[in-house]
Amino acid sequence: MRSAREIWEVALGELELQVNKPNFNTWLAKTTGLTRRENRITISTPNAFVAEYLDTNQRSLIEKTLINVTGASLEVVFEVVSARQPASPAAKNQPPRQGRSAFNPRYTFDSFIVGGSNRMAHAATLSSTKGSGGGYNPLFIHGGVGLGKTHLLMATGRLAQANGLKVLYVSGEQFTNDFIRSVREKQTEEFRTRYRSLDLLLVDDIQFIGGKRQTEECFFHTFNELHQRNSQIVLSGDCPPKGLPLLEDRLRSRFVWGLSVAIQPPELKTRLAILKARAEEAKADIPAAVLGIIARKAKRSIRELEGSLNRVVAYARILQAPITAALAHRALADIGGPAGQNEPTPMGQVVDAVGDSFKITAADIIGRRRDKETALARQVAMYLVKQRNSCSLSDIGREMGGRSPATVSHAYEKISRDIENSAHLRRKITEIKKGLNSSSRAASPK
């Protein structure tokens, strides 16, 4: 039962936790496991560009992940499998379409579990499906990765469309590309007409337009026209409007005209409800105790929760064993720390890697300097050490220059939170982890 497809599904669940979201979407989301023969696994990619990127940049992370998943060291081969309908060069240049197909069919209001962490966001988006800017305009939904923003925006778009509204859902990235293309092809008028004739515009991950002056300006005008027409605008971002990296302050000020609502990481009750729904959907018979284990472990986001559930199910399938608490513990043993299974990373190595990344010395990290940058580096180091080792808070504190367990715990909590809100910090930590993963791999006697 260890088909390449199954193995790769579990590996993707893991990889999704390890690389940042844009990277995952760009490079990994459209890959599948094709075949496995002996120690070689072939992964299909949608095009040569992706194959080459994965081959040169992600090979070691992927191979390491596969070792975690299968317990065996596999050689990975990337193979281009052309899509059923090869996209013509012209098709690639098409502006975003309004078709229903733009929406992920899984993302509906019905399948969205409401809890304290997302109740406001749910209610606000639901009310915006009637269009006409009757309620709050714009509606700005913000929160960390994997908390349900895209789900809500797509559910909104789909329902509004069913209500007969003229809807366009785009990501900040698509908006940017669409705008650039219209300028290049001298079709800015057509671009304007297309956007300003909408009843509802949804822009997901609006932070993407930040720092691109012309795109920001274009969005500013689009926004104003829609707003004046009383068309509803719904935006999502990875942080509140005031934290967006925008060049145009007037754009930021527009974003707070309406209502901004945060989506928080889900509480235990919501996590359990989501797991239950997912298990039912998958027709998987999973004991309540196991759902509890997963829900308690995967706290950061719903994406992580889903990844963990998939992992447990796939583990059972691969081992052809029933889903028990013991199996769940085993399957989730290294979640949250991509270091090799139960293989701690020496603290010194973590401190060095963090020092390299922040361009400060290891001595400063464990020393007494209190400037902002050093303090942050120190917290990141404690966070990573705790994540990658099973030693106690007081052990970590002692090694990190004689700090109290409470300081370590505070650092861990703080960085866990900050990662959700800062794409910059997230990237930085991902890079450090990548470095640690590849060096611990080089050092392991395989």
Residues that bind ligand ADP (CB under 6 A): 106-107, 111-113, 118, 143, 145-151, 274, 302-303, 306
Instruction: State how far Cα 303 lies from the chain centre.
Output: 7
Tokens of 189: 């008028």
Residues 6 or more apart in contact with residue 316 via CB below 8 angstroms = 322, 323, 327, 331
**Cβ closer to Mg ion: 104 or 392?**
104
Question: In the stretch 136-165, what mask flags binding to Mg ion with x, by CB under 5 A?
Answer: -------------xx---------------
Q: Round to whole Å and give the CA distance between 320 and 323.
A: 9
**Cβ closer to ligand ADP: 149 or 403?**
149
Position closest to Mg ion via CB: 150
Q: Round to whole Å and give the CA distance between 398 and 408.
A: 10
**Cβ closer to ligand ADP: 121 or 350?**
121
Q: Whole-number minimum distance, CB 24 to ligand ADP, in Å?
A: 11
**Cβ closer to ligand ADP: 28 or 34?**
28
Q: Are 14 and 68 in contact (CB under 8 A)?
A: yes
Q: Which does 377 bind (CB under 5 to 8 A by kind): ligand ADP, Mg ion, none?
A: none
Q: Whole-number minimum distance, CB 294 to ligand ADP, in Å?
A: 14
Neighbours of 279 (CB within 10 A): 21
Q: Which residue has the tokens 């029933």?
A: 322
Q: Which does 147 bind (CB under 5 to 8 A by kind): Mg ion, ligand ADP, none?
A: ligand ADP
Q: Whole-number minimum distance, CB 271 to ligand ADP, in Å?
A: 10
Q: Whole-number minimum distance, CB 154 to Mg ion, in Å?
A: 9
Say how many residues make up the chain. Answer: 446
Q: Whole-number minimum distance, CB 54 to Mg ion, in Å?
A: 22
**Cβ closer to ligand ADP: 21 or 181?**
21
Q: Which does 255 bind (CB under 5 to 8 A by kind): Mg ion, ligand ADP, none?
A: none
284: left (phi over 0), alpha (psi -120 to 50) or beta: beta
Q: Which does 148 bind (CB under 5 to 8 A by kind): ligand ADP, Mg ion, none?
A: ligand ADP
**Cβ closer to ligand ADP: 111 or 127?**
111
- Residue 147 one-letter amino acid: L
Q: Whole-number minimum distance, CB 208 to ligand ADP, in Å?
A: 13
Q: Whole-number minimum distance, CB 275 to Mg ion, in Å?
A: 20
Q: Whole-number minimum distance, CB 205 to ligand ADP, in Å?
A: 7
Site for Mg ion in 288-317 (CB under 5 A): none
Q: Rule CB under 5 A: is residue 232 a binding residue for Mg ion?
A: no
What does DSSP assign to residue 392?
-
Q: Round to whole Å and give the CA distance between 179 and 194.
A: 11
**Cβ closer to Mg ion: 144 or 355?**
144
Helix (H, G, I), strand (E, B) or coil at 442: helix
Tokens of 197: 């004739």
**Cβ closer to Mg ion: 3 or 111?**
111
Q: Which does 145 bind (CB under 5 to 8 A by kind): ligand ADP, Mg ion, none?
A: ligand ADP
Residues 6 or more apart in contact with residue 4 via CB below 8 angstroms = 33, 34, 35, 36, 41, 42, 43
**Cβ closer to ligand ADP: 20 or 361?**
20
Pick from 436, 434, 435: which is nearest to 18 by CA? 434
Pick from 262, 256, 346, 336: which is nearest to 294 by CA? 336
Q: Whole-number minimum distance, CB 435 to ligand ADP, in Å?
A: 25
Residues 6 or more apart in contact with residue 171 via CB below 8 angstroms = 203, 204, 205, 208
Q: Which does 306 bind (CB under 5 to 8 A by kind): Mg ion, ligand ADP, none?
A: ligand ADP
Residues 6 or more apart in contact with residue 58 via CB below 8 angstroms = 19, 27, 28
* Residues of the shown chain interacting with Mg ion in the complex, contacts defined by CB under 5 A: 149-150
